[in-house]
Structures are given as structure tokens and as C-alpha cells.
Structure 1
């Protein structure tokens, strides 16, 4: 068994455990992304996760766990780092216009190379602070990016009127809920079971309050 075959088996088991039905080429493309991230990470230190098997669990499967909650034709991934969860979501559910936002230049250089190398149609990367990004999106994702108060304070203007905000968290962030700014409300809180990961994962779903 090659190392890639082992990683593929782990990824396929995880996708099955999540109950996801992905496009036929998705597993290969996800592995290509992981390999590219591993290669760049050796030089540019894009993620603290070094072990390829851990990348499958903590990056790919962790990102894919929110796929059933993603909706709409446009998505902005704020504080995306090396493209998480935005790139796995783009591979798993192609056809959406996705904007990857990060303020770190070397991470954005990696994102642009990944978009080119993986031929990710409809995906763009921008180096910017979240508060300076323009536009409105049906879905906004943010993974371990900031407190709910800060992420909505900086990026709330990016959420379309009927859009949903998917905030990926570790422990259930009950202490952050009182800080949700006026004009936004929690629509749901989901416990995520990420295959192979013992740490807690939660997804907070937020939306705009309509008068």
C-alpha cells in the first residue's frame, strides 16, 4: 500500500461515516489538495498540522462535516488560512462562486496556486482584512477564526439578507452567544462528529434578523 492509498482509504472511510455523496473525482482532488498543502507547508508553515493522516482528519473531514449545512450559490470563507473549509467545500460541491479571504500574504499565494493547480472553477482568493471585503454572500463560513461577536462585527456586512453564517467552533461556545450583535440571531447549534477526531466540534448557524 502506498502512502496515498492509505490516505485515500482513510478519507473514503471518513466520507462514508459522514454520509456524504461526493462527485466521482472529489476524493482524488481532495488528496491532490492535501499533497499540495503538505508540500508548501514544509517551506511556508501554513498549518501546524504536519502529519498527512492528521491533515485528512483535522482539515479535510473537519471541513466536509459542515457540507450538509452549506447553501446558496455564493460563499465567502473568512480567515480561510490555507483554504479551510473553503477548498474542500469547493471540491465536494462544485458550481458555487467561492471567495477565500485571508490577510496573510503567503497563505493567499498558496491559495492562488491551489486554485490554479486544482482547476477550481469559480473560486477566488483575496488578501484582505475581513472588514475591507465587499459584496454579499448566501453563505459565510469561518473556522476557528474569532469570537462570534468579532466575526460578525468585522464581516457581518458580507451576509446576504437571507444568507446563513456557519461558524465552526471547538467546544460549544455558550459564553459567546450573549455577544452576538444586534441584527443577527442564532438559528441553530449542531454537534459535529468528525470521523477520527476525539476533540469536540460544534457548528453555530446564524442569520440576519428581519423586522
Structure 2
């Protein structure tokens, strides 16, 4: 059989235009784009929360030496969220922060939400749109409260006498040694984040 005859047979057996495309199905699950967007919302929320905590901590860092203040700022920027939350609580307590009760509650909620950093990699959580939306909304809520407390503190400082920088500085210096060792340890979190975040690996 000539090659021309074979080509004619194959041409006759060819599928009509569009027939093959109609039978091809993508391996990507439906709603994949929405799921990726929800995961991105959670990750972005964690980043915003950490940045807000860092800015609040830096408000309590008061040094006449600009180089020393900048060096401390770089050190705190390398610290994990949980360490920054500890720094914030201790420094605010030393500064006799007026709304300490509300700040403690916000720090507690932020500690729970930090677990989403690892939970987002679990199959059950990352494939649960409702849990992802709930976590993103809670991150936004806690961040908004923290930003509000921070702005209020700045306004109060502008109207009142300066905070006790010596007392606050003592607390922060004591924490610096812990920060240096704590940065290296990134402990995995497998606990629940409120009721919306299941344990990782389930």
C-alpha cells in the first residue's frame, strides 16, 4: 500500500473540527482559581498582621542613637510573629498602655491565627473554601483592631507626656537575646485556629 493511500485513509478517519476538543477534560478541579485566591487572601492577611504587630513594637523602641534604633528595627523585622507578639505585650505592659485588656485579647487572637501559616498547607483546610474565607475574615478583623489601637496610641503620645522610655527599653533589651535565638526556630503548628481551622494533615 502506497504512502499516498495510507494518508488518504487517515484523512477519511480524521475527527471533524472541534470533536476532539469536546472530549478533552482538564485535570484542574473546578473552582481552582477561586481556591488559589482564597489561599492567597489568608497568606496576605498573615503578612499584614505581622507588619502591623511590627509597627506597633517599633513605636516602643525609643533611642536617641539613630544607628542603634535602626539596628534594633532590623532585628525585630527578622523575628517571627509569635515573638513579636510577646515583645508587643511586654513593651505595652511596661509602658502602662491604657487599653491593655483589649490589646491582650487581640494578641491572644493573633496567636491563634498564626497557626494558619501551617494549616494552609493541610489538604483539609486548603480545600475548604468556607474555612479559608473565615480565616481571612478573622485575620482582617484582628489586624483592623490592632491598627486602631496603634493609631490611638500614637495620637495619645502626641497629646500627653512621653512614655517611660527607660522602663520600656529595659523590657525590649531583655527580649532581644530571646529574639536572636528564637528566629532560628520556626515551630510547626498543628492545632486548630478557632473553629474554622482544622488540624494540619487530616
Q: What TM-score results when the alignment is normalised by the length of structure 1?
A: 0.23
Q: Which protein shows a greater Rg?
A: 2
Greater percentage in strand = 1
Q: What TM-score results when the alignment is normalised by the length of structure 2?
A: 0.24
